[in-house]
A and B are shown apart, each in its own frame.
Chain A
Amino acid sequence: MTWIRKDLLGLEELNREELELILSTAESFKEVSSREIKKVPALRGKTVVNLFYEPSTRTRVSFEVAAKRLSADVINIATETSSVKKGETLIDTGKNIEALKADIIVMRHNASGAAAMLARNLNISVVNAGDGWHEHPTQALLDIFTLKEKLGRIEGLNVSIVGDIAHSRVARSNIWGLLKLGAKVTLCAPKILIPAAIEDMGVAVTNDIEEALAKADAVNVLRMQFERDGETAFPRQLEYFKQFGITAERLKKAKKNIIVMHPGPVNRGIEISSEVADGANSVILEQVTNGIAVRMAVLFLVAQAQDKLANITKDEPSLS
């Protein structure tokens, strides 16, 4: 299995072998973070630019730590400090970053497809750190990595995703990744938060939280955002918690060792109770730890693919 993509834009475009390569590479990288010197020189001399058009501390910090543990130099550009407000187009911004001889752009953007568009127009690598409602591949990879670490496999698992599926890039990436690796996926949300024809992806859909939890080996609880775009996505927070909130009460009827995941930040008492978020089934903090390993793997793989493409015609001396 050889990784040949200069970019990571989403999990939809990856095949099973590519997903497995990222996961196994991440396994090796996890060991690095457990060392006293948590650093390897793999990306020494490379520059990673975190280009964030949406506020995000968690993902940005995770990528920054990952890049630094690989010895890359990291530059953070957030909307406040960029030329975005001066009306520069995304491609111009990207080309400017490319002209600085950066090697990888990690981008978070509120427009679906923004990462794909940027990647098409640049020679350097683009890693999608979330584009609109479209995909958030590294989040799904770290969810899947955590699941695999906990349960030893993905094939055949029942995974339920609960929450605002319609506006969730985390959900879409998880669905693609889990299905390709052989899991069964059930989505659970109020009807208005289930996007059109999502069954065609190959998932089951229910509006009944107990049904979603009944057979689940794991449940991924999405963050609810009630004030998105001024839309009244779902009327009342309390009402949501009552109908869909993950509580200790509800978990009692689920499998005893059900894994509870959440991409964070957690809205305690809205989509999940504190008791569950901090409870024995929760792997929320492990997800954060694993996020570093997964992102190190992704940065490493795309950087290597880029070098490969650049050196494709050079001689290839053997090494021993």
Chain B
Amino acid sequence: MKEKVKILDKEAVARAITRIAHEILEKNKSTKDLCLIGIRNRGVYLAERLADRIKNIEGSGVLTGALDITLYRDDLALVSGQPLVRKTEIDFDINGKNLVLVDDVLYTGRTIRAALDALIDFGRPRSIQLAVLVDRGHRELPIRADYAGKNIPTSKDESVEVRLEETEGVDEVVIIGKELK
């Protein structure tokens, strides 16, 4: 048995996404040249939800894309379980755009490093910002989130699980702790 604590429920997840959508608009002033790039897997669904909210608020839509960073990881050999290589789908020119990278959890920062490398291979965006649902600390690289749904202080032996309707059938964020003795 492992200890589990629910940090965000369905409503809290929805509120966090709405708040981030507002913040993105506030910072970027409009949806012009604004694009959301979700990092596979859950970042893609979060990006789509953010795009929905932005459209509701602003009335105009934003482009979204999906980024698979497997091929850019620096730790392929170390990952437990084999990462599947999935498709990157960015069907628009990113040159001169304001990109918002979207991911579920920000932890060491290595995923974001890989994502930045991947994006640079696609072109030269004007700016890249980062939105995450949860920031759990323990950065290993000089990377920070521009938008965070919730900051959750964790210890390294805990893990944070984001579950989404699209992937797990439920919206929630859970901290899973050490093995209970």
Contact = CB atoms under 8 A, between A and B. Distances in A.
Given A25-B84, A28-B88, A320 B121 contact: no
Interface string B131-152: 0000010000000000000000
A316 B80 contact: yes
Contacts of B85: 25, 28-29, 297, 300
A304 B70 CA distance: 11
B123 A316 contact: no
Nearest to A70: B71
Interface stretch (A34-42, A108-116, A151-159, A231-239): A34-42
A62 B77 CA distance: 26
Interface in B52-77: 68, 70-73, 75-77
Contacts of A57: none
A155 to B, nearest CB: 21
Nearest to B82: A2
> Which one of B71, B81, B103, B117 has the highest number of Cβ atoms from chain A below 10 Å of its Cβ?
B71
B107 interface: yes
Contacts of A27: 87
Interface stretch (A9-17, A172-180, A251-259, A307-315): A307-315
B121 A37 contact: yes
A109 B60 CA distance: 60
B45 to A, nearest CB: 16
Contacts of A83: none
Given A41-B72, A320-B108, A2 B117 contact: no
A307 B79 CA distance: 10
A320 B42 CA distance: 11
Nearest to B140: A317
A304 B84 CA distance: 11
Main secondary structure, interface of A, reads loop
A36 B78 contact: no
Contacts of B82: 1-3, 304, 308
Interface string B86-111: 11110000000000000111111011
B77 A42 contact: no
Given A29-B85, A37-B121, A319-B110, A42 B105 contact: no
Interface in B12-61: none
Interface in A35-72: 35-37, 39-42, 70
Nearest to A304: B76
Contacts of B68: 28
A70 B72 CA distance: 10
A51 B72 CA distance: 28
Contacts of B103: 320
A31 interface: yes
B105 A320 contact: yes
Contacts of B123: 36
A42 B71 contact: yes
B76 A36 contact: no
A317 B89 CA distance: 28
25 contacts: A1-B82, A3-B82, A27-B87, A28-B86, A37-B121, A40-B72, A41-B117, A42-B70, A42-B71, A70-B71, A304-B76, A307-B77, A308-B77, A308-B82, A316-B79, A318-B107, A319-B79, A319-B108, A319-B111, A320-B104, A320-B105, A320-B107, A320-B111, A320-B136, A320-B160
The 9 closest A-B pairs by CB, nearest first: A307-B77, A320-B107, A42-B71, A40-B71, A316-B80, A320-B105, A2-B82, A28-B85, A37-B121
Given A70-B71, A297-B85, A316-B79, 14 more contacts: A2-B82, A31-B88, A32-B88, A35-B121, A40-B118, A300-B71, A304-B82, A308-B77, A319-B107, A320-B104, A320-B105, A320-B107, A320-B136, A320-B160
